[in-house]
Amino acid sequence: MAKEITMPQLGESVTEGTIDRWLVEVGDQVNKYDPLAEVTTDKVNAEVPSSFSGTIKELVVKEDTTVAVGDLIAYIETNDEEGPEREQERENKEPKEAPSTKEQTGDSSMKTRYSPAVLALAGEHGIDLQQLTGTGRGGRITRKDVEAYVAGSATRSAPQKQEAKSAPSDVSEQRQEPQSLRAGDERVPVSGVRKAIANRMTQSVQEIPHAWTMVEVDVTNLVRYRERIKGSWKEKRGYSLTYMPFFMETVAQALKRHPVLNATWDKDAIVYKKEINLSVAIATDDALFVPVVHHADELNVNGFARKLHELADKTRSNTLSNTDMAGGTFTINNTGSFGSIQSVPIINHPQAAILSVESIVKRPIVQKDDSIAIRSMVNLCLSIDHRVLDGLAAGRFLQDVKHELESFSHE
């Protein structure tokens, strides 16, 4: 009997997902909970598991196609007439194949959990899968990785004359490329996280009327305090104390006093969020993720430092959960980490504002008594949804944050 596989709900606010890669092919035998596809949403990357044991009958949705939650993506043929003895027999057979996998943990186990399609293709071409580098989630080797390896091997072993014969088809393909391309240009289709970022940023710019403002803040006292304690902090806790926990605590408390920045536009109404959940941008080598620190107004500097360390580890190991990515109400971005001194951030739709913390730099500053002193200064750049709030509310919020940071005392 054919069973339907549908796009699962991958987060509380997720309404659709993009089939990034199919991990199976038509005709593959799969067990219940085996991964069928890699899916990208605007929140997180995840695998779609099989709900049944059986044979893949049809892949309804092509790769790089976005479908709504609950939509049909595949059919799987099951044998409902199998009795419990047959099911038990299958389960008893599985551990015999497992020892080599059980010995490995973490990324290693992910890389060696090959799909039936990958195993079949590798066997057909006599490929040692241990020699391949996977591009799938967690380093997983996918069917496309094997096909690319096979194609690469064919190219390396092909005579020079064969390469010349293939030239006409290459020329034909080049003619189909956009006319704006010139010799030597390369057109690379995007998918996965990069595509999700592109869609979300485009949506934000097209739907939200952005306005921007900035203040400069004297954080000399904060810098001196961190310099004094950062050594003992790392020795005691095992990870570094950055400036971000101080900024995040200050911002979270300011949002309690200025709730309009912790809001969102909803058609013809403004929704004021009860919870204060700070989204924080964390970059990897090839992507940007924005996990969430929930109930941020209940945390102190220690709590923020610990949570940031945990989220950074999860981001780099590609283990962020749906919960980690959902529910943000305001975004803070540490653009100063790569030397920026001023930026115009794009709002994380559907939030109403985003704050960029720029580089802390020492500059000569004129004091109240007209003397000049070297002070540690930072620019705070704020983008707002002009439908939700105006410049006055944005200015009051920034002045509040500025006052708290400049009044910082470790006492």
CA distances from 285 to 92, 122, 133, 289, 315 (A): 42, 30, 17, 11, 11
Tell me the pLDDT band of 355, cut-offs 50, 70 and 90: very high
For residues 98-104, average pLDDT: 40
pLDDT of residue 234: 94
Higher pLDDT, 72 or 108: 72
pLDDT(206) > 90: yes
Give the chain's length: 411
| Helix axes of 391-406 and 244-257: crossing angle, nearest 10 degrees | 130
Q: What CA–CA distance (Å, rounded) separates 261 from 277?
A: 12
Active-site residue 294, yes or no? no
pLDDT(165) > 50: no
Residue ranges of the chain assigned to CATH 3.30.559.10: 194-406
What is the CATH code of the structural domain delimited by 194-406?
A: 3.30.559.10
Residue ranges of the chain assigned to CATH 2.40.50.100: 2-156
pLDDT(86) > 60: no
Any idea what DSSP says for residue 61?
Answer: S
Higher pLDDT, 205 or 82: 205
Q: Out of 102-116, 187-201, 356-370, pick the least confident.
A: 102-116
Q: What CA–CA distance (Å, rounded) separates 163 from 172?
A: 15
pLDDT(83) > 70: no
* Highest mean pLDDT pick, 9-23, 189-203, 289-303: 289-303
Tokens describing residue 116: 């039936």
DSSP 282-344: EE-SS-EE--EETTGGG--HHHHHHHHHHHHHHHHTT---HHHHS---EEEE-GGGGT-S---
Phi, psi of 54 (to 5 degrees): 165, -155
* Highest mean pLDDT pick, 131-140, 207-216, 286-295, 321-330: 207-216
Which residues, 6+ apart, have CB-to-CB distance to 175 below 8 Å? none
The active-site residue, picked from 266, 390, 403, 410, is 390
Long-range pairs, 163-168, Cβ under 8 A, ≥24 = none
Q: For tokens 């700070």, what's the residue?
A: 278
H or E element in which residue 84 lies:
helix 84-93
Query: CB of 277 within 8 A of CB of 296?
Result: yes
DSSP 155-219: HHHS-HHHHHHTHHHHHHHHHTS-TT--TT-------HHHHHHHHHHHHHHHHS-EEEEEEEEE-
R_g of the chain computed on alpha carbons: 26
Q: Which of 377, 381, 375 is nearest to 342 (CA)?
A: 381
Query: CB of 75 within 8 A of CB of 58?
Result: yes
Query: CB of 355 within 8 A of CB of 331?
Result: yes
| Helix axes of 116-125 and 143-157: crossing angle, nearest 10 degrees | 20
∠ CA 71-77-82 to the nearest 5 degrees? 130
What is the topology classification, in CATH, of domain 2-156? OB fold (Dihydrolipoamide Acetyltransferase, E2P) (2.40.50)
Full-model pTM: 0.64
Q: What CA–CA distance (Å, rounded) separates 214 from 234?
A: 32
Q: Out of 37-41, 219-223, 269-273, pick the least confident.
A: 37-41
Q: Out of 88-92, 113-117, 190-194, pick the least confident.
A: 88-92
Tell me the pLDDT band of 102, cut-offs 50, 70 and 90: very low
For residues 146-164, average pLDDT: 55
pLDDT of residue 209: 96
The active-site residue, picked from 210, 297, 386, 400, is 386
Query: CB of 118 within 8 A of CB of 146?
Result: yes
pLDDT(405) > 60: yes
Active-site residue 390, yes or no? yes
Q: Out of 39-53, 121-135, 181-195, 259-273, pick the least confident.
A: 121-135
Q: What CA–CA distance (Å, rounded) separates 231 from 233?
A: 5
Share of the chain above pLDDT 70, in %: 76
Q: What CA–CA distance (Å, rounded) separates 90 from 84?
A: 10
Higher pLDDT, 389 or 186: 389
Tokens describing residue 232: 């003992």
Any idea what DSSP says for residue 351?
Answer: B
What pairs with residue 332 in β-bridges? 280, 355
pLDDT(248) > 70: yes
The two beta strands, 35-40 and 45-49, are antiparallel
Note the Cα 146 to chain centre separation in Å: 26
